[in-house]
Chains A and B, each alone.
Chain A
Amino acid sequence: MKREDTIEIRWHGRGGQGAVTSAELTALSAIHENKFAQAFPSFGPERRGAPVLAFNRISAEHPIRVRSSVIKPDIVVVLDPGLVTLINVVDGLKPGGWLIVNSTRSIDDLQSEFSGDWKLAVVDASSIARELLRVNIVNTTMLGALIKTTGVINIDSLKEQLEVKFGARAKANLEACRKAFATTVISSIKTGGQKKVRTFAVENLAKWSELPVGCVVTDVGNTKQFCTGDWKAQHPVWNDSKCIKCGICSLFCPEFCISQQKDGYFRANEFYCKGCGICAQECWTQCITMVEEA
């Protein structure tokens, strides 16, 4: 049984964004403050860009015996802005809990999308990370937002852990963390609102339990229904005036999503493109540039 004083955190991120590192740093900082803490990822295939989960449990008083994944979190932190429309990030979030989102959208805009008996905090961590760290990896930045909103750990104890983990790069990471701390916007509880029922793309797909005996999939190539395009952080843009229509981009596309249009030029199907950038790298005439997702 989980004790009452244990705080549970669920991190939503994408493979490679550092959700696991965030959870680890949180736990290490809590342990540094003489608390009891756990950090662990959800087990599964580790794929760059795919939605992933990481978990924390922190208790000031008691050792934590529970080892299962967090189902009813007190705090949910979302590292990737795209995830809020993709999966149900507030699944199981406790009344009075916290939802902390990295987004460029305003807090009112986001609040209209979610309504529930919990508090919302928004920070534009991607812009902070790009400015201060020069990469769109927001794990340490989002820790600033977590500290500001919930105070589960202290920023000074985090500082020490950052130095151990990142060495020379700790300074910039801490700066990003502090900036997020300063710019996080917090809303109060919005109760009484009608809870919106939302369906997510994944829920419309067939379920494994509906398969015939022997797990035979009769619908060939039905991964085509699955949008892998929302994994990407950047997308290719063609400059047709330089294109010689050789098709090397199409040949080397690991998503098989680049095809020749009627006019002879090539385009990527954004529904599948994961933004790896191979096409831009391999193009003979360098007519492809990778543009960051808005």
Chain B
Amino acid sequence: METLSIYAPKLITSREYIASGHRACSGCGEVLAMRYVCKALGRNTIISNATGCMEIISTPLPQTAWEVPWIHTLFENASAVASGIECGLKALKRKHGYTREVKVVAMGGDGATADIGLQSLSGAMERGHDFIYVCYDNEAYMNTGIQRSSETPFGASTTTAPSGKASMGQHTWQKNMAAIAAAHEIQYVATSCSSYPFDIMTKVEKAIKIKGPSYIHILSVCPTGWRCPSNSTIKMGRLAVETGIFPMYEIENGKYTLNIDLPKLRPVEDYLKLQGRFRHLDKDNTAEIQEKVLDEYNKVKRLAAGNKAK
């Protein structure tokens, strides 16, 4: 580690846009990701937040942790509300001489993004609204007690996909949200992880500059739902990236860039064995996961390499 980078945390603004006293579980990685996103977004932001952990923990009525304009929407319409706000701002500019540059941001968990709110997100991206969609992916419906979503990884045990004699937990593979967003041919799609604050902030800053929709998918470690100690949040996120389970990449105008390209990936066991939700997996399951992970990772790597060749 270069000596200077040790002091890098000092480069980040100390201004917070979410207040302390929020009700997240101890060791929450999702609220950390949201903190970095908001630091990068700054003051001139309007946030439309779908139902989910981040909504529940930040606004226990009559209190709010937010220090930027924020609206609570339902699971299914965070992007629709963001579209409306963006159109409203446009109208204000056109008719009433409003000049401030305000970025509209929609946020949601993996359930609100990949399951329930996918239609409104797809619609908003297709219409080309000038907004950023941030998905905090903690890989299940955590705030209601760990129910499976379409982002729950293969083999994970959840309360609605429990492991036992008849089942090994979740038996489907994750939905590739970044690819779905990219298929809308929007200008900017990125994936990031709660353990990499600078990566998140750089990507959000890039997205702010885009005129039109952009999509950022952030893997957010959930110690409660993943059944791991609350102090392992940062480590777990790093392992997800270092094992290749969660490749961090950007798609700018269709061009892939792999942000962290490791010469050698760690075996997936390093990641799986530390989490209670994967405790029941046997060698065959792990091998199957390893194969799939390498497959997906190499796919992204090939796409990124293709760009370089051009």
Chain B residues 137-173 with CB under 8 Å of chain A are 143-146
**Cβ of A269 and Cβ of B20 under 8 Å apart?**
yes
Hey, what's the 0/1 contact readout for B17-32 against A, CB within 8 Å counting as 1? Answer: 0111111111111011
The reply on A151 being an interface residue by CB < 8 A is no
Contacts A278-B230, A280-B231 known; A254 to B32 CB distance under 8 Å?
yes
Chain A residues near B143 (CB-CB < 8 A): 45-47
CA distance A277 to B234 in the complex (A): 11
The reply on A160 being an interface residue by CB < 8 A is no
Tally B residues with Cβ within 8 Å of A. Answer: 49
Hey, what's the 0/1 contact readout for A237-277 against B, CB within 8 Å counting as 1? Answer: 00000001011101110111101000000000101101111
Chain B residues near A215 (CB-CB < 8 A): 61-62
The reply on A97 being an interface residue by CB < 8 A is no
**B273 vs chain A, min Cβ distance (A):** 18
Binds B, one of A1-9, A118-126, A227-235: A227-235
**Cβ of A48 and Cβ of B25 under 8 Å apart?**
yes
**Cβ of B9 and Cβ of A248 under 8 Å apart?**
yes
Chain A residues near B64 (CB-CB < 8 A): 217, 219-223
Chain B residues 210-258 with CB under 8 Å of chain A are 223-224, 229-235
**A140 vs chain B, min Cβ distance (A):** 19
**Cβ of B22 and Cβ of A223 under 8 Å apart?**
yes
CA distance A210 to B197 in the complex (A): 38
The reply on A211 being an interface residue by CB < 8 A is yes
CA distance A196 to B35 in the complex (A): 42
The reply on A144 being an interface residue by CB < 8 A is no
Chain B residues near A227 (CB-CB < 8 A): 21
Chain B residues near A284 (CB-CB < 8 A): 6
- How many interface contacts (CB-CB < 8 Å) are there between A and B? 155
**Cβ of A276 and Cβ of B27 under 8 Å apart?**
yes
**B125 vs chain A, min Cβ distance (A):** 29
Residue of B nearest to A47 (CB): B25
Chain B residues near A208 (CB-CB < 8 A): 61-62
The reply on A213 being an interface residue by CB < 8 A is no
Query: Contacting B20 at CB < 8 Å: which of A248, A272, A275?
Result: A272
CA distance A257 to B32 in the complex (A): 12
Contacts A220-B67, A221-B66, A228-B21 known; A276 to B61 CB distance under 8 Å?
no
Chain B residues near A66 (CB-CB < 8 A): none
Chain A residues near B56 (CB-CB < 8 A): 45
The reply on A116 being an interface residue by CB < 8 A is no
**Cβ of B234 and Cβ of A223 under 8 Å apart?**
no
Residue of B nearest to A281 (CB): B231
Contacts A221-B67, A222-B63 known; A256 to B57 CB distance under 8 Å?
no
CA distance A271 to B20 in the complex (A): 9
Chain B residues near A166 (CB-CB < 8 A): none
- Residue among B22, B25, B67, B146 with most chain A CB within 10 A: B25
Chain A residues near B6 (CB-CB < 8 A): 244, 246, 248, 284
Contacts A220-B67, A221-B67 known; A278 to B23 CB distance under 8 Å?
no
- Residue among B27, B53, B146 with most chain A CB within 10 A: B27
**B213 vs chain A, min Cβ distance (A):** 28
**Cβ of B197 and Cβ of A48 under 8 Å apart?**
no
The reply on B10 being an interface residue by CB < 8 A is yes
CA distance A220 to B6 in the complex (A): 34
The reply on A206 being an interface residue by CB < 8 A is yes
Chain B residues near A251 (CB-CB < 8 A): 9, 12, 197
CA distance A226 to B53 in the complex (A): 18
**Cβ of B145 and Cβ of A46 under 8 Å apart?**
yes
**B171 vs chain A, min Cβ distance (A):** 24
CA distance A246 to B5 in the complex (A): 9
Residue of A nearest to B235 (CB): A281
Contacts A227-B21, A247-B10 known; A256 to B16 CB distance under 8 Å?
yes
The reply on B84 being an interface residue by CB < 8 A is no
Chain A residues near B67 (CB-CB < 8 A): 220-221
The reply on B58 being an interface residue by CB < 8 A is yes
**Cβ of A254 and Cβ of B23 under 8 Å apart?**
no
Hey, what's the 0/1 contact readout for B83-97 against A, CB within 8 Å counting as 1? Answer: 000000000000000
**Cβ of A274 and Cβ of B9 under 8 Å apart?**
no
**Cβ of A226 and Cβ of B63 under 8 Å apart?**
yes
**Cβ of B26 and Cβ of A225 under 8 Å apart?**
no
Name B residues whose Cβ lies closer than 8 Å to a Cβ of A. Answer: 6-7, 9-10, 12, 14, 16, 18-29, 31-32, 35, 53, 56-67, 143-146, 197, 223-224, 229-235
In addition to A47-B25, A246-B9, A278-B233, 13 A-B residue pairs with Cβ atoms within 8 Å of each other are A15-B224, A45-B53, A45-B56, A45-B57, A215-B62, A220-B67, A221-B18, A223-B23, A246-B10, A252-B197, A254-B26, A254-B29, A259-B14
| Top-6 shortest CB links A-B | A277-B231, A221-B19, A276-B27, A223-B21, A274-B26, A247-B9
